[in-house]
Structure 1
Amino acid sequence: MQLDPERALNEIEGFLLWEAEKDRARTRAQEFCDGLPWLTDSQRWEVEVRYCQDQRDASRAYLERIAVRSAALRTEYDGVYRALRRRLITAVLSGSVAVVALFAVTAFGLAVR
């Protein structure tokens, strides 16, 4: 089985981005708890854990919404691209037919004289 390099890179990038997101959540949780100096160590730990989980859940939901929207945009843009390509091909073919017809009429007109 051959591994697709582009897919592998996407998976690695996704993994690294998710790890960075988890680190960001941890840092934000620690900063949040720093503003609550009266927490005991165990309370601080629990708040950090819950804060991190909440941040990860929010991030996951956000990323899922982005993925759905991205897929919808890709479908929409693919349709627009195909329509534009058809129009361009039609215009080029029409222009070519017009030029050939013009040359034919000109050649026929010169031949008749």
Structure 2
Amino acid sequence: MRSAAEMQLDRAVNEIEGFLLWEAEKDRARTRAEAFCAGLPWLTDTQRREVELRYCQDQREASRAYLERIATRSAALRTEYEGVYRALRRRLITAFLSGTVAMVALTTVAAIGLGAR
């Protein structure tokens, strides 16, 4: 079992990683917006800034929706896999215990059979 301090550290690392990934996503959106606007040379500086801003907002919204879908699916898969793991573990323990009981029974029968001679 993990300690509370380890779990808190993991949460902090996850938050930092999430922050860094989101900042990288924002940078990618800015880069893509600039590249998009570079193909529109007739824009004024003000129009270019407005298009870049709207492009970045749209990209961030799309990225956020995508990440939320991934997070939801990941949670569903985790729940599903944990259920499968528990079922497999139960089967393994049942098989082990059944084998142990069978071995004890065979050993007992063999010991009784040898003692009766």
Q: Whole-Å Cα distance in 2 between the matches of residues 7 and 96 of structure 1?
A: 42
Instruction: Tell me what 1:102 maps to.
Output: 106
How many positions carry a matched residue from both structures? 113
Percent of matched pairs sharing the same residue: 78
Classify 1:2/1:67 alpha carbon distance in 2 versus 1 (closer, same or farther; 3 Å). Answer: closer
4+ aligned runs moved over 6 Å, structure 1: none
More deviation, 3-12/83-92: 3-12
Q: Whole-Å Cα distance in 1 between the matches of residues 102 and 25 of structure 2?
A: 59
Secondary structure at the counterpart of residue 21 of structure 2: helix
Instruction: Tell me what 2:40 maps to.
Output: 36
Instruction: Tell me what 2:58 maps to.
Output: 54
Deviation of 1:67 (Å): 0.7
Alignment RMSD, CA only?
Answer: 1.5
Q: Whole-Å Cα distance in 2 between the matches of residues 91 and 23 of structure 1?
A: 54
Q: Show structure 1 runs of 5+ residues with no match.
A: none
Q: Whole-Å Cα distance in 2 between the matches of residues 16 and 32 of structure 1?
A: 24
Q: TM-score, normalised by structure 1?
A: 0.96
Q: Whole-Å Cα distance in 2 between the matches of residues 108 and 50 of structure 1?
A: 86
Q: Whole-Å Cα distance in 2 between the matches of residues 18 and 110 of structure 1?
A: 74
Secondary structure at the counterpart of residue 4 of structure 1: helix
Q: Return the letter of the residue paired with 1:90.
A: T
Deviation of 1:60 (Å): 0.2
Q: Whole-Å Cα distance in 2 between the matches of residues 89 and 66 of structure 1?
A: 34
